[in-house]
Structure 1
């Protein structure tokens, strides 16, 4: 939905969640994870070596996530990364580094960014804030369908448990907890089709920004 809006209005789309996934992937590939335990001191030392960017795929027209110049869009969407991203995202030094990168990306305006603390921490003065929600079951089903469409192995029960666990961790973390900004619009898309969501979002943009 956010990607479609950005493409339609000529803005740059940034997936902040992908940035935390990229840090998680880096941690997995560089031995910073030992089982489920994070070597926080080692990760802290290496944060300056982690550079994340987004580039448009000429074939799909959608942005891919790059970690230190390497396309990791598919790697960061695996269940292994999904199961470890919340503990990484609770680390204050990781969040501080990602927020700095996100704010730098937004300095020139003209961006659509999605993520769990964008309207409250990263861009508290954003022109338009949308807080999107749906039941855990619906979100898990959508994620399951997405993974299967990419040819990846997926378990609905595992995904559902991961969704619930991530929500709990993100809502209760000390740094930038997941919450709706006071001035954000609420969109519950549990029973909405993709087209209905797009129409609702474009209406909000036209009424509040374009007008």
Structure 2
């Protein structure tokens, strides 16, 4: 991993669903004053649009929506539903849709608002596809059971009527889709730092990441 020399700090994170990457990305963003983008929310946003507008959902419709996409659109609680997540995983396999999402991610990665000192993005193909030259690349993971329990608790807070077993099945299905897809699959690479969130609190996991980053930034 190269030392931090650029003016804008770039952090790339890949992870399977519900591994805690979003939480860690937000903590990194706050600590280092970086612009944060959850790239998965882009596909979830489009998935929600498809569910709501099945007959209108075509590339012309998608292009129009991507041009008007705002960060506030990605904070919709409805994006957390199991149905949206499953649909998003299918949409992410479409080459044309990935190209539109790719362009939006590149803009966020390399041209963050001036008030930020850089950017941090999490997703499935960020470390090797969107930000291949990132200063830091992390792969955050945990067992399927642990991730399913986390997602189940999130959904219960939103009063979603779903069982833990249903969430676990969905997580495993999404893992297979993310790892096996031909276009930009989720994968480990040699230049990623592997971070397990299995038995870690949010804070302790962040401190592991911070220790790695500070050691290199201050070197």
Class of the TM-score when normalised by the shorter of the 2 chains: 0.7 to 0.9
2: CA distance between counterparts of 1:184 and 1:164?
23
1: CA distance between counterparts of 2:200 and 2:45?
30
Shift in Å, 1:5: 1.2
Say which of 54, 58, 75 aligns to 1:43. Answer: 58
Shift in Å, 1:154: 2.9
3-state SS of paired residue (1:66)? helix
2: CA distance between counterparts of 1:193 and 1:168?
26
Determine whether 1:88 maps to 2:122.
no
The residue correspondences of 1:60-71 to structure 2 (distance < 5 A) are 65-66=72-73
**Matched residue pairs, number?**
189
1: CA distance between counterparts of 2:44 and 2:106?
18
Determine whether 1:26 maps to 2:26.
no
Determine whether 1:79 maps to 2:102.
no
Q: Is the 8 A contact 1:20 1:88 kept in 2?
A: yes
Change over 3 Å in CA distance of 1:203–1:23 after alignment to 2: same
Residue 60 of structure 1 aligns with which residue? Answer: none
Change over 3 Å in CA distance of 1:15–1:210 after alignment to 2: farther
Shift in Å, 1:210: 4.8
3-state SS of paired residue (2:140)? strand
Shift in Å, 1:147: 1.6
C-alpha deviations, 1:70-129, integer Å up to 9, x for none? xx5211111221221111111111111101100011223511111010001111111100
Change over 3 Å in CA distance of 1:210–1:157 after alignment to 2: farther
2: CA distance between counterparts of 1:77 and 1:147?
7
2: CA distance between counterparts of 1:179 and 1:139?
17
| TM-score normalised per structure 1 | 0.83
Moved over 3 A (4+): none
2: CA distance between counterparts of 1:43 and 1:93?
11
Q: Is the 8 A contact 1:127 1:209 kept in 2?
A: no
2: CA distance between counterparts of 1:53 and 1:128?
26
3-state SS of paired residue (2:195)? strand
Shift in Å, 1:172: 1.1
Residue 14 of structure 2 aligns with which residue? Answer: none
| TM-score normalised per structure 2 | 0.81
Unmatched segments (≥5 aa) in structure 2: 1-23, 113-117
Say which of 202, 206, 211 aligns to 2:210. Answer: 202
Shift in Å, 1:138: 0.3
Residue 178 of structure 1 aligns with which residue? Answer: 186
2: CA distance between counterparts of 1:208 and 1:150?
40
Unmatched segments (≥5 aa) in structure 1: 33-38, 55-64
C-alpha deviations, 1:178-200, integer Å up to 9, x for none? 10222111112111121210111
3-state SS of paired residue (2:171)? helix
